[in-house]
Amino acid sequence: MSDEGYESRIIDGKALAKKIESEVESGVKALVSGRGVTPGLATVLVGDDPASKMYVRLKHKACERVGIRAEDHFLPAETSQEELISLINTLNKDKNVHGILLQLPLPKHLFPQEAMEAIAPEKDADGFHPYNMGKLMIGDEGLVPCTPHGVIRALEEYNVPIKGKNVVIVGHSNVVGKPMAAMFLNRNATVSVCHVFTDDLKKYTLGADILVVAAGVKHLIKADMVKEGAVIFDVGITQEKDGVYGDVDFENVIKKAALITPVPGGVGPLTIAILMKHVLSCAEINF
Ligand code: NAD
């Protein structure tokens, strides 16, 4: 046990994901037996970016594990915006599809924002639709982005208090940083959001009780940038020939952290498990 009273210094994302997936599996079984509805997820992938293909494959595998029906819509890289929107409209009307996931990034000639807005908000399993984002901003959390949702679930699971804590988020993307900040504000933390133009990043990170790093810069956060006893979530993924790296210099930072997520095996599996939870919620509400 660490000085702060936590049982382990590593947040086991894989184990927590397994727990969430088993909750989803039970929920799916109840929906099938109770209402005769099998939750369905439609994934839409445009082009053949290998990383995107791998992410879609991982999501389909998770669907298989929990009993969600998954269908894969692969569109060639030269697909037009009209063709993409037309597919999304078809999926919006399909009663067997409860959640729709548009895998990002899209090829450069397409407009991701317009495509995401075309997804029916009640089928927005990723939580990126402006309606769901807006609800999140006013504290009415429904379908929220999966990665921030996973971070909050992990904090709950490890009994880490949030109210009144100093939270620092590195990265201000629409996918992670901004919704993460809103979720912490909704729980009455004091939140600082840093980004590539932040002057003196260390000045902020040193004050963090909870630090969430989503910059995509290998080992951006060093041990001298975190305070003793901080709880740290490393969202970043940098794929190199010899392996996958996070945004946190894990080996050295772990010596100071009360709790920390590894890369791989931390935030990644959690994000996918939460996506499964969202598809189930979509099916429970709209069947
Ligand atoms: P993005 O590329 O849209 O944004 C990156 C953010 O980091 C920006 O706000 C930018 O200003 C900031 N940033 C970049 N360099 C910085 C620096 N040197 N100092 C401070 N801030 C800096 O990123 P995103 O889509 O939020 O993804 C971030 C990382 O998280 C990527 O590595 C991505 O692959 C990973 N990711 C992982 C998961 C998961 O499930 N594990 C989910 C989403 C994203």
pLDDT score, position 287: 56
pLDDT score, position 286: 79
104 lines ligand 1 (CB under 6 A): no
Q: Largest alpha-carbon pair distance within the chain?
A: 57
Which residue out of 12, 123, 124, 126 is catalytically annotated? 126
- Whether 103 sits among the annotated catalytic residues: the reply is yes
pLDDT digit string (tens) for 152-195?
Answer: 999 999 999 999 999 999 999 999 999 999 999 999 999 999 99
- Whether 126 sits among the annotated catalytic residues: the reply is yes
Q: Which residue's C-alpha comes closest to atom 35 of ligand 1?
A: 236
Global pTM? 0.97
270 lines ligand 1 (CB under 6 A): no
* pLDDT less than 50: residues of the chain: none
115 lines ligand 1 (CB under 6 A): no
- Whether 95 sits among the annotated catalytic residues: the reply is no
Q: Which residue's C-alpha comes closest to atom 22 of ligand 1?
A: 196
172 lines ligand 1 (CB under 6 A): yes
171 lines ligand 1 (CB under 6 A): yes
DSSP for the chain, written as a single string: --TTS-S-SB--HHHHHHHHHHHHHHHHHHHHHHH----EEEEEEES--HHHHHHHHHHHHHHHHHT-EEEEEEE-TT--HHHHHHHHHHHHH-TT--EEEE-SPPPTTS-HHHHHHHS-GGGBTT--SHHHHHHHHTT--SS--HHHHHHHHHHHHTT---TT-EEEEE---TTTHHHHHHHHHHTT-EEEEE-TT-S-HHHHHTT-SEEEE-S--TT-B-GGGS-TT-EEEE---EEETTEEE-SB-HHHHTTT-SEE--SSSSHHHHHHHHHHHHHHHHHHH--
pLDDT digit string (tens) for 112-152?
Answer: 999 999 999 999 999 999 999 999 999 999 999 999 999 99
Q: Please identify, in words, the CATH class of the domain defined by 145-269.
A: alpha beta
Q: Show me where the domains of the chain are located.
A: 37-120, 145-269
193 lines ligand 1 (CB under 6 A): no
68 lines ligand 1 (CB under 6 A): no
- Cβ-proximal residues to 47 (8 Å cutoff; 6+ apart), any chain: 75, 76, 77, 79, 106, 107
CATH number attached to the domain at 37-120: 3.40.50.10860
Which residue out of 12, 103, 123, 124 is catalytically annotated? 103
User: Do 37-120 and 145-269 have matching folds?
Assistant: yes
Q: Which residue's C-alpha comes closest to atom 31 of ligand 1?
A: 216
Ligand 1 atom nearest 216 alpha carbon: 32
pLDDT score, position 215: 98
Å from CA of 170 to ligand 1 middle: 8
pLDDT score, position 1: 52
